[in-house]
């Protein structure tokens, strides 16, 4: 075992098959652990506790092109016997085939990867480096008779040598399969890269090269998170790949060690139940499922979302149709398009808020699904008004399908912002809101709830007003608007009556809040706040320019008839205000004025966004549903999903109540 005397087979590697890196690397914990085990190994030989005549055999297993399965059309069934262990190590069971998570350049090092740990605790494996220093994409190495000498704890630079392994077993029947996983996935799109057809097929072929036609029949394969540590592989995908290739190899059992990853254990159990329940029982179905997930990830390359997972809504014609879904309202062009696109969609729930989403593959558009609280007024399409894509009923409950926006509401940005918005940004916000309000007012409607929580931002930080039930200007309503008390105008407080001028008052309050991070008339005492709204003038920060102050001041005119924007030509008066000097309104309408926002707005960190395959496939219960009088099958029963979050809904409702006006 004096490897340091061997001739260097690969000159580009300084040390190749020697222990020199261990002796010259310093005192890192992994190296200390490996050296302790190596000394323990020599001690056992010195004391005569190891039979020197025992044989170690290495098999180089190669998959020829004619033996590569057609994964897309494979009809073999997915094996059902998968045991998950949160505790213990691969190889604890004597009748297992142990999977060793190898590197393409087989060998040991000093950083504490799984392969290095296996080599460190099983020094005889080091001979493997002489036989197969580099593995190609169609081969693996099977080792027989390797004795386990060490017990370790930890991973990476926290690896510790706990002690010698003194268990009694028949080492001649111990088999270790070395298969290497891919690494170096594309930055910022790792999961998209590793679920591509090319790399998915490579991983299947690699694992299949080891699993197929084994030298003996094993009780099970002992494996775990193959290529998921330093290589950056996704645990759910890698586990599913091993499940597919083991099924193709007619393996009867898998013992999967999660290394105390209890959440993964629960998730993968749910995944196995999901595929059984929904008859996704063939290799080809699971293979296509991963490719569908990859298609979704590719479609998200333009605009990343902060969703933590998605579920592929696999439509299985063999499952009985159980529920009836009805599209509300008349079957117009939009609702028919909605019905058509529901046939194939991704359904998912976001992790923080547990919101439900639908991603339409055919439209490359992400939409939000929420229980309908109030029916929004139908409006013609406008660039600064959010679109409502329709409604549908499940079990007599109505759900709205709305646009989803990555940047959330303006309220979120106000709450999280450490600095106030710049005046250039305020100018563009104001112009876009004015265009939206003018569109509403020309329909003789009042928006009535212009506040930060009802304004959302798209991927480039352009505003959109949330679709809400609007009030007709001819209606003499006595009902106060559903808005925070800080945004109420003098006419609302005094006579409970208002017109479109109220929207411009709210715009003034909003712009002041964006500049000062507080509303102009706020007081902790409701009566004092009412008094300020009716009789006080706003106090501006002296650093704000005169045109901006003037614009907001005129929007906050106490008399609605004299307020900027009132009257027949109010919109033109607003456009001609000096605050908007130099602004091209046509370019604003076409969303071409984006430089001001983009240079000052923090862009989402796409590199930190992760999509979870397991949640994509099974986090939601699949129920096949048909649409009445329409040629569509198998839609998701979402009432069950939403009922899981009743407690969270109640908490959100309480928060909303606190924000809504308390009557004075």
The string of DSSP codes covering 517-577 is: SS-TT--SSHHHHHHHHHHPPP---TTS-HHHHHHHHHHT-SSTTTSTT-STTHHHHHHTS
> Of residues 295 and 511, which shows the higher confidence score?
511
Q: Please indicate, yes or no, whether residues 68 and 166 belong to a single structural domain of this protein.
A: yes
Q: In this predicted model, what pLDDT tens digit does every residue of 12-25 receive, in sequence order?
A: 554 445 555 555 55
Q: Please indicate, yes or no, whether residues 331 and 275 belong to a single structural domain of this protein.
A: no
Sheet with 388-394, side-by-side order of all strands:
311-312, 345-349, 356-360, 365-371, 397-403, 388-394, 323-327, 625-627
pLDDT band at 276 (very low <50, low <70, confident <90, very high): confident
Report pLDDT for 78: 93
As a dihedral over the C-alpha atoms of residue 284, residue 290, residue 291, residue 293, rounded to 10 degrees, the angle is 150
Q: What is the percent of the chain with per-residue pLDDT over 90, rounded to a whole number?
A: 30
Report pLDDT for 664: 28
Report pLDDT for 243: 95
- Evaluate whether residue 306 is within a structural domain: no
The total domain count for the chain is 3
pLDDT band at 663 (very low <50, low <70, confident <90, very high): very low
Whether residue 572 contacts residue 441, with contact meaning beta carbons closer than 8 Å, is answered with no
Report pLDDT for 482: 79
**Partners of residue 169 on adjacent β-strands:** none
Report pLDDT for 401: 75
pLDDT band at 651 (very low <50, low <70, confident <90, very high): low
> Of residues 470 and 352, which shows the higher confidence score?
470
Tell me the C-alpha distance between 290 and 293, whole Å. Answer: 5
Q: Cβ–Cβ contacts within 10 Å for residue 535, how many? A: 10
Report pLDDT for 365: 64
Query: CA nearest 181: which of 119, 237, 265, 246?
Result: 237
pLDDT band at 544 (very low <50, low <70, confident <90, very high): very high
DSSP element (H, E) containing 244: helix 235-248
Could you tell me which residues come within 8 angstroms of residue 1 by beta carbon, excluding any fewer than 6 positions away? 41, 42, 123, 126
Q: Please indicate, yes or no, whether residues 16 and 47 belong to a single structural domain of this protein.
A: yes
Report pLDDT for 355: 62
- Evaluate whether residue 503 is within a structural domain: yes
Dihedrals phi, psi of 436, to nearest 5 degrees: -65, -45
**Lowest mean pLDDT, pick from 282-296, 408-422, 497-511, 524-538:** 408-422
**Lowest mean pLDDT, pick from 371-375, 499-503, 594-598, 656-660:** 656-660
- Evaluate whether residue 10 is within a structural domain: yes
Query: CA nearest 249: which of 204, 185, 197, 188?
Result: 204
Q: In this predicted model, what pLDDT tens digit does every residue of 184-236 receive, in sequence order?
A: 666 556 778 888 999 999 999 999 999 988 877 787 899 999 988 878 888 88
Q: What is the mean pLDDT of residues 464-478?
A: 74
Q: What is the mean pLDDT of the chain?
A: 75
Which two structure tokens, joined as six digits, stand for 20? 């020199």
Tell me the C-alpha distance between 209 and 102, whole Å. Answer: 14
Identify the three-state secondary structure at position 445. strand
Q: Please indicate, yes or no, whether residues 169 and 133 belong to a single structural domain of this protein.
A: yes
Q: Residues of 433-458 as b/e, b for ≥16 C-beta within 10 angstroms?
A: bbbbbbbbbeeebbbbbbbbbbbbbb
Domain C-terminal end among 556, 571, 600: 600
Q: What is the mean pLDDT of residues 98-115?
A: 82
- Evaluate whether residue 345 is within a structural domain: yes
pLDDT band at 312 (very low <50, low <70, confident <90, very high): very low
> Of residues 135 and 303, which shows the higher confidence score?
135
- Evaluate whether residue 606 is within a structural domain: no
pLDDT band at 247 (very low <50, low <70, confident <90, very high): very high
Report pLDDT for 92: 81
Whether residue 161 contacts residue 36, with contact meaning beta carbons closer than 8 Å, is answered with yes
pLDDT band at 505 (very low <50, low <70, confident <90, very high): very high
Q: How far is CA 26 from each of CA 20, 21, 109, rounded to the nearest angstrom?
A: 11, 9, 13
Could you tell me which residues come within 8 angstroms of residue 77 by beta carbon, excluding any fewer than 6 positions away? 247, 281, 282, 283
Q: Please indicate, yes or no, whether residues 380 and 280 belong to a single structural domain of this protein.
A: no
Helix orientation angle between 423-441 and 546-555, rounded to the nearest 10 degrees: 30
Query: CA nearest 328: which of 258, 285, 378?
Result: 378
Q: Please indicate, yes or no, whether residues 16 and 91 belong to a single structural domain of this protein.
A: yes
Greatest mean pLDDT range, 142-146, 497-501, 550-554, 650-654: 550-554
Q: Please indicate, yes or no, whether residues 25 and 152 belong to a single structural domain of this protein.
A: yes
Report pLDDT for 395: 57
Q: Please indicate, yes or no, whether residues 289 and 150 belong to a single structural domain of this protein.
A: yes
Domain C-terminal end among 296, 330, 363: 296
Pairing of strands 365-371, 160-164: unpaired
Report pLDDT for 600: 45
pLDDT band at 457 (very low <50, low <70, confident <90, very high): confident
Whether pLDDT at 460 is above 90: no
Tell me the C-alpha distance between 204 and 244, whole Å. Answer: 8
Q: How many helices (H) and strands (E) does the chain have?
A: 22, 21
pLDDT band at 281 (very low <50, low <70, confident <90, very high): confident
Please provide the DSSP assignment of 96-162 as one string: EEEEEEE-SS----SS--HHHHHHHH-GGGGGHHHH-SS--TTEEEEEESPPP-EEEE-SGGG-EEE
CATH code assigned at 229? 3.40.220.10
Q: Please indicate, yes or no, whether residues 473 and 398 belong to a single structural domain of this protein.
A: no
pLDDT band at 643 (very low <50, low <70, confident <90, very high): very low
Q: What is the mean pLDDT of residues 368-378?
A: 75
pLDDT band at 28 (very low <50, low <70, confident <90, very high): low
Q: How far is CA 385 from each of CA 483, 546, 570, rounded to the nearest angstrom?
A: 18, 30, 20
CATH code assigned at 586? 1.10.510.10
Whether residue 90 contacts residue 117, with contact meaning beta carbons closer than 8 Å, is answered with no
pLDDT band at 410 (very low <50, low <70, confident <90, very high): confident
Q: How far is CA 249 from the centre of its chain?
A: 33
> Of residues 135 and 23, which shows the higher confidence score?
135
**Lowest mean pLDDT, pick from 120-124, 517-521, 611-615:** 611-615
Tell me the C-alpha distance between 228 and 230, whole Å. Answer: 7
Domain C-terminal end among 296, 320, 344: 296
Q: How far is CA 241 from each of CA 191, 192, 212, 336, 354, rounded to the nearest angstrom?
A: 14, 15, 14, 38, 28
**Lowest mean pLDDT, pick from 47-56, 259-268, 303-312, 365-374:** 303-312
Q: What is the mean pLDDT of residues 271-290?
A: 83
Domain limits for position 401: 311-406+611-659
- Evaluate whether residue 459 is within a structural domain: yes
Tell me the C-alpha distance between 608 and 617, whole Å. Answer: 21
pLDDT band at 314 (very low <50, low <70, confident <90, very high): very low
Q: In this predicted model, what pLDDT tens digit does every residue of 328-368 receive, in sequence order?
A: 444 455 555 655 555 555 555 554 555 666 666 555 666 77
Q: In this predicted model, what pLDDT tens digit does every residue of 29-87 receive, in sequence order?
A: 788 888 889 889 888 888 888 877 788 999 989 999 899 999 999 899 999 899 999 98
- Evaluate whether residue 304 is within a structural domain: no
Report pLDDT for 186: 65
Tell me the C-alpha distance between 311 and 244, whole Å. Answer: 19
Q: Please indicate, yes or no, whether residues 633 and 541 belong to a single structural domain of this protein.
A: no
Identify the three-state secondary structure at position 452. helix
Please provide the DSSP assignment of 326-392 as one string: EE-S---HHHHHHHHHTTSEEEEE-TTT--EEEEETTTTEEEEEEE-SSPPPP---BTTBPPEEEEE
pTM of the model: 0.54
Q: In this predicted model, what pLDDT tens digit does every residue of 382-397 receive, in sequence order?
A: 999 988 776 666 556 6
**Lowest mean pLDDT, pick from 152-156, 381-385, 400-404:** 400-404
Scanning the structure block, which residue is given the tokens 């966004």?
Answer: 609
Q: What is the mean pLDDT of residues 457-470?
A: 84
Q: What is the mean pLDDT of residues 119-126?
A: 88
Identify the three-state secondary structure at position 653. helix
**CB neighbour class for 33 (10 Å; exposed up to 12, middle 13-18, buried from 19):** buried
**Lowest mean pLDDT, pick from 405-409, 643-647, 654-658, 660-664:** 660-664
Report pLDDT for 55: 87
pLDDT band at 618 (very low <50, low <70, confident <90, very high): very low
**Partners of residue 390 on adjacent β-strands:** 401
Query: CA nearest 378: which of 467, 453, 292, 501?
Result: 467
- Evaluate whether residue 390 is within a structural domain: yes
- In 258-331, DSSP assigns E strands to 311-312, 323-327
> Of residues 499 and 478, which shows the higher confidence score?
499
Report pLDDT for 168: 78
Report pLDDT for 594: 65
Whether residue 343 contacts residue 633, with contact meaning beta carbons closer than 8 Å, is answered with yes
Q: Please indicate, yes or no, whether residues 254 and 234 belong to a single structural domain of this protein.
A: yes
Q: What is the mean pLDDT of residues 373-379?
A: 77
Q: Please indicate, yes or no, whether residues 59 and 188 belong to a single structural domain of this protein.
A: yes
């Amino acid at each position: 075992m004096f490897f340091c005397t061997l001739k260097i087979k690969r000159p580009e590697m300084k040390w190749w098959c020697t222990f020199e890196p261990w002796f010259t690397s310093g005192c890192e914990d992994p190296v200390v652990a490996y050296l302790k085990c190596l000394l323990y190994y020599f001690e056992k030989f010195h004391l005569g506790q190891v039979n020197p005549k025992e044989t170690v055999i290495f098999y180089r297993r190669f998959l020829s092109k004619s033996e590569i399965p057609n994964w897309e059309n494979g009809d073999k069934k997915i094996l059902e016997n998968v045991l998950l262990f949160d505790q213990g190590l691969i190889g604890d069971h004597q009748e297992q085939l142990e999977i060793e998570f190898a590197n393409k350049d087989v060998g040991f090092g000093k950083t504490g990867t799984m392969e290095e740990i296996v080599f460190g605790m099983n020094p005889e494996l080091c001979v493997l480096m002489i036989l197969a220093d580099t593995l190609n994409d169609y081969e693996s190495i099977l080792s027989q008779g390797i004795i386990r000498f060490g017990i370790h704890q930890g991973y990476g630079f926290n690896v510790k040598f706990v002690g010698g392994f003194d268990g009694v077993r028949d080492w001649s029947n111990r088999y270790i399969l070395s298969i290497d996983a891919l690494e170096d996935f594309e930055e910022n799109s790792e999961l998209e890269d590793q679920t591509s057809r090319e790399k998915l097929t490579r991983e299947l072929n690699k694992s299949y090269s080891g699993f197929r036609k084994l030298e003996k029949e094993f009780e099970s394969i002992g494996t775990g998170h193959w290529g998921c540590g330093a290589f950056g592989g996704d645990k759910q995908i890698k586990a599913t790949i091993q499940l597919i290739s083991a099924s193709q190899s007619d393996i009867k059992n898998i013992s999967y060690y999660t290394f105390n990853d209890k959440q993964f254990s629960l998730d993968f159990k749910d995944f196995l139940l999901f595929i059984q329940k929904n008859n996704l029982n063939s290799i080809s179905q699971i293979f296509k499922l991963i490719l569908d997930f990859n298609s979704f990830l590719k479609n998200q390359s333009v605009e990343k979302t902060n969703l933590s997972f998605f579920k592929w809504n696999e439509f299985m014609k063999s499952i009985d149709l159980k529920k009836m879904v009805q599209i509300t309202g008349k079957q117009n062009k939009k609702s028919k398009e909605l019905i058509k696109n529901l046939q194939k969609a991704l359904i998912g729930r976001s992790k923080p808020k547990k919101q439900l989403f639908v991603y339409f593959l055919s439209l490359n558009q992400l939409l939000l699904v929420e229980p309908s609280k109030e029916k929004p007024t139908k409006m013609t399409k406008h660039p600064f008004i959010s679109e409502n894509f329709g409604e549908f009923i499940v079990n007599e409950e109505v759900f709205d399908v709305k646009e989803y926006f990555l940047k959330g509401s303006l309220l979120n940005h106000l709450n999280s912002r450490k600095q106030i918005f710049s005046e250039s940004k305020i100018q563009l916000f104001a112009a876009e809101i004015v265009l939206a309000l003018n569109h509403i007012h020309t329909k003789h409607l009042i928006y009535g709830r212009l506040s930060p929580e009802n304004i959302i931002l798209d991927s480039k930080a352009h505003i959109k007003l949330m679709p809400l039930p609007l009030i007709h200007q001819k209606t003499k309503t006595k009902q106060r608007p559903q808005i925070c008390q800080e945004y109420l105008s003098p006419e609302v407080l005094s006579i409970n009556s208002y017109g479109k001028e109220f929207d411009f008052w709210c715009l003034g309050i909003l712009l002041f809040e964006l500049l000062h991070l507080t509303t102009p008339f706020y007081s902790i005492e409701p009566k004092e706040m009412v008094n300020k709204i009716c009789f006080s003038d706003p106090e501006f920060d002296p650093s704000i320019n005169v045109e901006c102050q003037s614009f907001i001041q005129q929007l906050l005119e106490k008399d609605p008839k004299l307020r900027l924007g009132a009257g027949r030509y109010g919109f033109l008066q607003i456009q001609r205000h000096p605050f908007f000097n130099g602004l091209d309104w046509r370019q604003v309408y076409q969303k071409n004025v984006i430089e001001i926002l983009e240079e000052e707005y923090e862009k989402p960190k796409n590199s930190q966004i992760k999509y979870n395959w397991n949640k994509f496939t099974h986090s939601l219960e699949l129920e096949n549903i048909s649409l009445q009088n329409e040629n569509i099958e198998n839609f998701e029963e979402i009432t069950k999903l939403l009922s899981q979050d009743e407690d969270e809904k109640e908490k959100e409702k309480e928060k909303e109540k606190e924000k809504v006006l308390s009557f004075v």
